[in-house]
Structure 1
């Protein structure tokens, strides 16, 4: 990275870019360089000279106009006249304090233009810097809320980013302390994932999750000093990896949170849903909507394979993890030591997502999840799982029953939806309604806003055929006001609802109504954590006690058929876990996390023999020295 503090770095950037044209001002905002110029044309028409400067400086450079801006309404008119109608612009909003104009469109490619042509033309002709947001193909109040947060908080976010930059680019202290990893959660357990990585110059957190089953809810943050944390890096949006973020901010953290764009939106969705669910159950949530909005202003979004400095001696790069939309493998380059943290990952392609990346410069330490590392954890092929699910649906409908599929709102529900679309098109199941309830609706809307993060299969349909499989005619998106009784006791149908572990949400409401009827089927397609109703059912329980919508405990006799279909898992199974370490630059050390103690105990020696590297399985609170 560039040597020296913020002032020296700004001076160097100005010196390099002044070869192109006059630079009025240079600002550091988070890990990015923002350059203000009177005449953007000279910079944007310089045969990619800005791109070459960015490579030389190893920084992403954002060019802003420091000259006069067109009045807002005139700028909007120019943009609408310039951008092809095929873009389907839904809204344009300007923020004068930041000199940014937000363009929300269904087809953002037409807004950007070839090689960013329209983006550059908007900046040159209006003086406003365009920020492009993709509108979902499905109307989503939640995404509107997120975009409102982003736009209304942009001025405050700019101030925050400048403070963050001062910390990133501070002068190194130059003391040799070594590289350590401390396991605050997710070690020999599934849930509350959080790992502190300490270097010579600072420290970062990998994930900040909560527990979704029994045990302690939050990671052991009493073991660290939040004031010393330079950055929080979230691998993906699931609450067992992101749910403790508001807790960190509640107790004083004010640094950056690095995420991909879909992860940012999905985190907001999951946290707002957590608030609503807590209040419905009569529980006071530990954070508010205002806390979520405040946290959003600290989020820095990165694309896959975009490398940034996050502290004086740490560079961060995200890679596709294949787990859920926007999920990322986290690669940390710490001087000459490289850590790859998988978060949750899947090493096979599905109709929804591609498989986890394997191309990295170097990997010395691999921190790998081990959810399905048990002796019997060899998942069937996806086609076999699809065949099993389709047969269960056919059998249930033939006896005039209904199928409940409790599914994780993010990822699993969309995998099931794509499978059903294909089955309907091949006439493998009858044309029955598919009800999509709860948070699945908004999660699916977010998926429709980020097709470029999805599989080649989805991209071919969205970009090639202009068809969005998530808006198939069989799907009925419920808004939460519908009568669940009529759906649960009506004609044959399929219901997809969260949560996937039956530990809350509308899936529990449907389960209470549907489980006494032997014609019905409940199909569990997600991992079932210890302490959840789904785990009880998987282990054979047929008489359970459950809390209903009114908060009262009820005893339920389960007469519906209970099925467990494993092949849809978004995690790597034992075979993938054994294969992945040998598919990347060979690590000298592998650390296993995010797995039940017994599974890690059986998998550890197997992996050690297979890969020939040191394999470790730390406990909560343990601290390991890497270098």
Structure 2
């Protein structure tokens, strides 16, 4: 039997890294190699003796919790290439730069050097095959991919390797406002009609809400703030939900001022070169945003200072979803003194991050120096309970490992699904192994 070893990502949110090994343990495949934004930074539980013998490495998308530890593979002797997409590779420099700044801010050191980053070699899936088509990479290895709807360039994967079939969802959602998602299906995987192992995004645990519910909650919170004459601060990552939320806010609040940092605008402009990842009409929606009169794009500190002085009844987007940067905190400190204002986080907040501390503090006590409202309202870029259930039905599997959330959350989900009759579900931790 083959073996799955969790180098990171199961039982936690972050450092996605899944090692597949053949029955003799002489060859391996790695799915993702990310980091965890906690403390000085946490890296995958790499076995340096195995890395030189990896047959292939696949990268599902550019977010740091899936990608930033890739240089360690080359530091420790990985001789091959990383299979991913062009859009993903174009986004990686932004995430490496952000990770470098994060580590420096923690007074920590990177475990790899610039030469290791420059050593990464990529192969582009879309240059070889379209979605949902098999590509033979080696005599014993075939792969197919599909768009996962999480980020421009993000993919799910099905591998047929040494007689076993493995499905890896990456980060998946079919509810993106702008991005296409391909439904994963087994396409001519030999004589098999069931996969041997699935690794499935379950980041939202037992959350039952669909995207529409989240957007209604977000719209209500913003409306209430604007009606009081207050402003809303939305800290978001550079790529992903940021572009979707900006377009959504522009359409939902056409008469209110939008203030957006240039770092978030550049990826929006870049979508025109990534139409193969987008839903029909997405580019027209982006262009409408750029044509609105009450759009203020912040390109430097002078423009930011001017915008902060005149901040009233505005919707502000700044890059840095956890509000760790000085720039994001500058916006916060300007808004925090007024009870009319509202800071809304829309995604994961790592333990100990500035955003996490704000949300946690707002839930338990009042702060004398923070009078604005602090909220966490998710925008869906991962799977909740109904989505996990549907994926298990779409991709029947002998063993399914649910990942990308704390183990207690995964335990709760597996308990619910097992009561419904699903079998072969696993809730694992970093360092765990599973034969399949």
* TM-score, normalised relative to structure 1: 0.62
In the alignment, structure 1 residue 326 sits paired with structure 2 residue 153:
yes
CA distance in 2, matches of 1:282, 1:220: 22
Instruction: Say yes or no: does 1:235 pair with 2:54.
Output: no
Q: Does 1:194 align with 2:20?
A: no
1:592 aligns with 2:418: no
Partner of 2:190: none
Q: 1:610 aligns with which of 420, 427, 431?
A: 420
Q: 1:215/1:182 Cα in 2 relative to 1: closer, same or farther (>3 Å)?
A: farther
Higher relative contact order (CA 8 A, sep 6+): 2
Q: Deviations over 1:214-239 (max 9, x none)?
A: 58610111365211112221111110
Work out whether residues 265 and 446 of structure 1, in 8 Å CA contact, stay in contact via their aligned partners in 2: no
Task: Give the C-alpha shift of residue 590 in structure 1.
Answer: 0.8
Larger radius of gyration: 1
Alignment of 1:104-123 (within 5 A): none
Distance, in Å, in 2 between the alignment partners of 1:339 and 1:488 is 51
The alignment partner of 1:468 has SS state of: helix
Q: Is the 8 A contact 2:53 2:78 kept in 1?
A: no
What residue in structure 1 maps to residue 175 of structure 2? 349
The aligned residue for residue 358 of structure 2 is 537
Q: Deviations over 1:435-475 (max 9, x none)?
A: 2226423333433320220122416x38xxxx734534344
Q: Using the alignment, how far apart are the partners of 1:204 and 1:480 within structure 2?
A: 44
Aligned pair in 2 of structure 1 residues 452, 395: CA closer, same or farther (>3 Å)? same
Deviation of 1:331 after TM superposition, in Å, equals 0.8
Q: Quick check: 1:578 aligned with 2:402?
A: no
Aligned residues: 421
- Rounded to whole Å, the distance in 1 between the matches of 2:116 and 2:371 is 43
CA distance in 2, matches of 1:391, 1:242: 35
Work out whether residues 256 and 315 of structure 2, in 8 Å CA contact, stay in contact via their aligned partners in 1: no
Query: Separation in 2 of the partners of 1:358 and 1:408?
Result: 27
Contact 1:448 1:470 in 2 (8 A): no
Cα distance change of structure 1 residues 565 and 438 upon mapping to structure 2, 3 Å threshold = same
- 1:388 and 1:542, CA in 2 relative to 1: closer, same or farther beyond 3 A? closer
CA–CA separation in structure 2 for the residues paired with 1:536 and 1:280: 17
Residue of structure 1 equivalent to 2:246: 417
Q: Does 1:471 align with 2:301?
A: no
1:563 to 375, 390, 393: 375
**Secondary structure in 1 aligned to 2:302?**
coil
Q: Deviations over 1:216-268 (max 9, x none)?
A: 61011136521111222111111001111123223333420111121111122
| CA distance in structure 2 between the aligned counterparts of 1:431 and 1:391, rounded to whole angstroms | 15
Tell me the C-alpha RMSD between the 2 structures. 2.8
Q: 1:372 aligns with which of 191, 195, 204?
A: 204
Cα distance in 2 between the residues matched to 1:470 and 1:335 = 49
Q: 1:31 maps to which residue?
A: none
Matches within 5 A, 1:283-294: 285-286=110-111, 291-294=116-119
Instruction: Report Cα offsets for 1:131-154 as digits up to 9, x if no partner.
Output: xxxxxxxxxxxxxxxxxxxxxxxx
Q: How does 1:265-304 map to 2 (within 5 A)?
A: 265-276=90-101, 285-286=110-111, 291-295=116-120, 298-303=121-126, 304=131
1:520 corresponds to which of 341, 344, 358: 341
Determine if contact 2:321/2:345 at 8 Å carries over to the other structure: yes
Q: Is the 8 A contact 2:40 2:108 kept in 1?
A: no
Tell me the secondary structure at the aligned position of residue 442 of structure 1.
Answer: helix
| TM value normalised by structure 2 | 0.87
**For residue 247 of structure 1, what is the aligned residue in structure 2?**
72
